[in-house]
Amino acid sequence: MKLYTFTAPTPAMALKKAQKACGEEALVVSTKQIRKKSLSDEGLYEVVVAVKKVTNTNNTQAKPIPKKPTFDDDILLNISKTAQQLAKLNTDPEQVTIAQNSLEQIAKEGKEDEFQALKSDIAQLTDKIKILQTMMWEEKSATREHLDIPPEFAEIYKIAKKSGMDEKHIKSILAETLNHMPVHMRQNSTTIKRYFQVLLKKLIPVRIEKEIPKGGQKIMMLVGPTGVGKTTTLAKLAARYALLSYRYKVGVITLDTYRIGAVEQLFQYAQMMKLPFEDVIDEEDFKRALDNLSYCDIILIDTVGSSQHDKEKIEKLASFLQNSHHEIHVNLVVSASAKYQDLQDAYDSFSFLNLDTLIFTKFDETSGFGNIFSLIYDTQKPVSYFSTGQEVPDDLKIASSDFLISCLFEGFNKKVEV
């Protein structure tokens, strides 16, 4: 940096002289009056300017300096300096143009590898910034400290927590992920997310729907809390087995004879689909109904909804099952919109019926699916069907871990086929 002094009768004239000699880049260091104007003499003003790398100059003949500072290519190989250049994006458009030009120049000069390495470094930096922003989100509470989550996992932790997944499950799965995830995959949040999704999918047991062999028979009973959608799901299953995906002979039994409305509801569905229908009051009736439908490939049994505290009703169901002398697959139907604790309570109450699978309803009425994940993960019971709305027979999906995890990460979308 060198200083040059210019004098003229007015400050404006002195400045003009300085600019002419040193260029637009010259910085004005000081301006002062060195001689007052009088009747006989003009006034005299002095302007001192500072310029970079100017050689061979004197007061009035400073050589103009180049308008743009030159850029050393080596600088671009240093990621921190590059980051500094990019950081000027908002404040110094001229510098950014130079940085971009230099990047392009590297590419043009055939330094393709360096160029790509640099681009990837910048992408990593951007990702780290994203991760840090996530970390600064309200989650710096005691919970996170307690879990000791590395910054790269913050986004995944946030998604899992928001989904309603149980805290202890999040903790153990994250610990597993940390233990087994290849180091190179940890470097950005996209690969971490993908890895985590694949891991969660593998943790969900699914009961594959098998064809019923010729001459065989399958009997399915739906049990669960009140109003979760047992009867509606049973009607959807009946349509699936009898009309849509298979041409099975389907029979329907209801044990829900306490309420006239309940019998009527299922009877209507059975009639529409022209399916044989039996309503049952006691255990003898039940055996008779099963015998009457012995020619069916599949028998679907609807039951009365029981609150988890209604032990008497659940025990009665157990007695029906024990004394039927048939192999009956019991499926627990629960609502996806219930809290994890309620799902657990329902499971605990019905589990002594020796449950075969879990069916989740009301996917369309919730935004978090971590509660479902946690119930499946905790109980290790396979999941068989998802009900995704009120429409019979359309709103039924065969359970798949892909669909559940896509709901957990992206929210429910009826149209997603997985």
Ligand X SMILES: Nc1nc2c(ncn2[C@@H]2O[C@H](COP(=O)(O)OP(=O)(O)OP(=O)(O)O)[C@@H](O)[C@H]2O)c(=O)[nH]1
Residues within the interface to ligand X (CB under 6 A): 226-232, 256, 262, 305, 361-362, 364-365, 387-390, 395
Q: Cβ 319 to ligand X, closest distance in Å? A: 19
Nearest Cα neighbor of 288 from 251, 237, 259 is 251
What is the C-alpha separation between 360 and 230, in angstroms, rounded?
10
The closest residue (CB) to ligand X is 305
The two structure tokens encoding residue 329: 């697959």
Q: Cβ 314 to ligand X, closest distance in Å? A: 13
Nearer to ligand X, 188 or 337 (CB): 337
Query: From the CB of residue 411, how many other CB atoms can be counted at a distance below 10 Å?
Result: 13
Nearer to ligand X, 60 or 390 (CB): 390
Nearer to Mg ion, 286 or 340 (CB): 286
Q: Cβ 265 to Mg ion, closest distance in Å? A: 7
Q: Cβ 196 to Mg ion, closest distance in Å? A: 38
Q: Cβ 305 to Mg ion, closest distance in Å? A: 6
Q: Cβ 336 to ligand X, closest distance in Å? A: 8
The closest residue (CB) to Mg ion is 231
Name 330's bridge partners: 221, 355
Q: Which does 390 bind (CB under 5 to 8 A by kind): ligand X, Mg ion, none?
A: ligand X
**Inter-residue contact 218 to 298 (CB < 8 Å):** yes
Q: Which does 341 bind (CB under 5 to 8 A by kind): Mg ion, ligand X, none?
A: none
Nearer to ligand X, 9 or 389 (CB): 389
Q: Which does 327 bind (CB under 5 to 8 A by kind): Mg ion, ligand X, none?
A: none
Residue 99 exposed, middle or buried by CB count within 10 Å (0-12, 13-18, 19+):
buried
What are the φ and ψ backbone dihedral angles of 16, each rounded to 5 degrees?
-60, -45
For Mg ion, the binding residues in 69-98 under the rule CB under 5 A are none
Q: Which does 389 bind (CB under 5 to 8 A by kind): ligand X, Mg ion, none?
A: ligand X
Q: Which does 354 bind (CB under 5 to 8 A by kind): ligand X, Mg ion, none?
A: none
CA 177 to chain centre: 16
For Mg ion, the binding residues in 196-235 under the rule CB under 5 A are 230-231
Contacts of 61 (CB under 8 A, 6+ apart): 21
Q: Cβ 237 to ligand X, closest distance in Å? A: 12
Query: Residues in contact with Mg ion, total (CB under 5 A)?
Result: 2
Q: Which does 397 bind (CB under 5 to 8 A by kind): Mg ion, ligand X, none?
A: none
The CA–CA distances, whole Å, from 128 to 153, 158, 188 equal: 11, 16, 7
Q: Which does 227 bind (CB under 5 to 8 A by kind): Mg ion, ligand X, none?
A: ligand X
Q: Cβ 320 to Mg ion, closest distance in Å? A: 16
Q: Cβ 262 to ligand X, closest distance in Å? A: 5
**Inter-residue contact 139 to 158 (CB < 8 Å):** yes
Nearer to ligand X, 155 or 256 (CB): 256
CA 52 to chain centre: 53
Q: Which does 361 bind (CB under 5 to 8 A by kind): Mg ion, ligand X, none?
A: ligand X
Region of residue 49 (phi > 0: left; psi between -120 and 50: alpha; otherwise: beta): beta
The two structure tokens encoding residue 190: 């996209």
What is the C-alpha separation between 211 and 183, in angstroms, rounded?
43
Nearer to ligand X, 6 or 369 (CB): 369
**Inter-residue contact 345 to 319 (CB < 8 Å):** no
Contacts of 319 (CB under 8 A, 6+ apart): 283
Nearer to ligand X, 247 or 414 (CB): 414
Q: Cβ 399 to Mg ion, closest distance in Å? A: 21
Degrees, nearest 5: CA angle 211-215-218: 55
Nearer to Mg ion, 231 or 384 (CB): 231
Residue 254 interacts with Mg ion (CB under 5 A)? no
Nearer to ligand X, 233 or 406 (CB): 233
Region of residue 120 (phi > 0: left; psi between -120 and 50: alpha; otherwise: beta): alpha
Nearest Cα neighbor of 102 from 125, 69, 129 is 69
**Inter-residue contact 297 to 324 (CB < 8 Å):** no
Nearer to Mg ion, 157 or 269 (CB): 269
What is the C-alpha separation between 133 and 137, in angstroms, rounded?
7
Site residues (vs Mg ion, CB under 5 A): 230-231
